[in-house]
Amino acid sequence: MANNQLSTLKKGLIVLELVKQMQGITLAEVMEKLKLSKSTAFRLLTTLEDMNYIYKIQSQYFFNFKLFSKEETERQKNDWTSLRSIYQFAQSLQMSTYLGKLDGTDFIMTQVINEPYLHPTDKEIGNRSRVYLSALGKVILAHLEEEELNKLLNRMALEPATPNTFQDSQLFRYHLKAIKEDGYAFDDEERNIGIRCVAVPVFRDKKGIAAFAIAAPAVQISRRNIKQIATKLGAGSKAIAEEIEALEKK
């Protein structure tokens, strides 16, 4: 009996270490990587989930860093750099992926994933830009309440970063209305020449709390594939919102 218990404990620890190493992993992937039967893998994962060592979002399991580190907990609350679901979409789209939020009249990056899409790009996390300059900022502005939006726009001068930057405030307001109707924003080399960006909002309790986006050279993002990219980002946005909610409940 003791040997069986030790064997089970060892397998459980191996599974826990694997989940920790991966940026999200499915039951099938655990079975394949560790050569476990479906019943054994499921039992181990369920036990670890019940003990709060890991958590599940849709079909993927994630390591619960919050359980082990107070510092990690604070980081999760403040800038979401520990979120794991963003990696799945960066790897799927094979494009640089961004997550950020509004801070006054600035947009601040809270997570950046560049090729090979395995680790955060720390040097870009915390970068700030004027909120009107990018798809990320515009999609957040578009989903603000009218009063809050007016206050922000009245504090901003639309200074151009490139010849494509919006400079007419009235035209910009119409642009924001179109973004809200479409559900996504498009940055057509408005911040950086040669770079396009597509962004969608991240909602919590029906309120936009962040923006999720991809950016790539203009040749990779055409007007014909924007909607397709936006649809994929929408799925990513929902996964991120679910992960934020799951982490805050732990």
What is the SS3 assignment for 99? strand
- Which value, in Å, is the radius of gyration of the alpha carbons in the chain? 21
Label residue 180 by pLDDT band (50, 70, 90): very high
Give the per-residue pLDDT at 76: 47
| Average pLDDT value for the chain | 85
Label residue 6 by pLDDT band (50, 70, 90): low
pLDDT digits (tens, 9 = 90+) for 182-192: 999 999 999 88
In this model, does residue 161 exceed pLDDT 70? yes
Q: Cβ distance 64 to 221 under 8 Å?
A: no
What is the SS3 assignment for 75? helix
The pLDDT of 28-42, averaged and rounded, is 91
In this model, does residue 153 exceed pLDDT 90? no
Q: Cβ distance 203 to 209 under 8 Å?
A: yes
- Domain(s) labelled CATH 3.30.450.40 in the chain stretch across 73-249
Q: Cβ distance 57 to 73 under 8 Å?
A: no
Q: Which CATH class is domain 2-63?
A: mainly alpha
In this model, does residue 12 exceed pLDDT 50? yes
pLDDT digits (tens, 9 = 90+) for 193-249: 999 999 999 998 888 889 999 998 988 888 888 989 999 999 999 988 888 887 766
E-assigned strands of 136-232? Answer: 185-188, 195-204, 207-217
Distance, in Å, from the CA atom of 106 to the CA atom of 112, rounded to the nearest integer, reads 17
Burial class (CB in 10 A: 0-12, 13-18, 19+), 64: buried
Q: What is the DSSP letter of 168?
A: -
The pLDDT of 152-179, averaged and rounded, is 89
User: Parallel, antiparallel, or unpaired for β 207-217 and 128-130?
Assistant: unpaired
Which stretch, 14-23, 153-162, 168-177, has highest mean pLDDT? 168-177
Other beta carbons within 10 Å of 24: 23
pLDDT digits (tens, 9 = 90+) for 84-129: 788 888 888 888 999 999 888 888 888 899 888 888 888 888 888 8
Give the per-residue pLDDT at 7: 78
Give the per-residue pLDDT at 213: 94
Fold (CATH) for 73-249: Beta-Lactamase (3.30.450)
Q: Which long-range contacts (CB under 8 A, 24 or more apart) does 147-152 make?
A: 149/176, 152/105
In this model, does residue 23 exceed pLDDT 70? no
Give the per-residue pLDDT at 211: 94
Residues 6+ apart with CB under 8 A from 35: none
Structure tokens given for 144: 């603000």
pLDDT digits (tens, 9 = 90+) for 55-89: 887 788 888 776 665 544 454 444 567 777 888 88
What is the SS3 assignment for 15? helix
Give the per-residue pLDDT at 184: 94
Give the per-residue pLDDT at 2: 52
- Domain(s) labelled CATH 1.10.10.10 in the chain stretch across 2-63
The kind and range of the H/E element at 54 are strand 54-57
Q: Please state the pTM of the whole predicted model.
A: 0.68
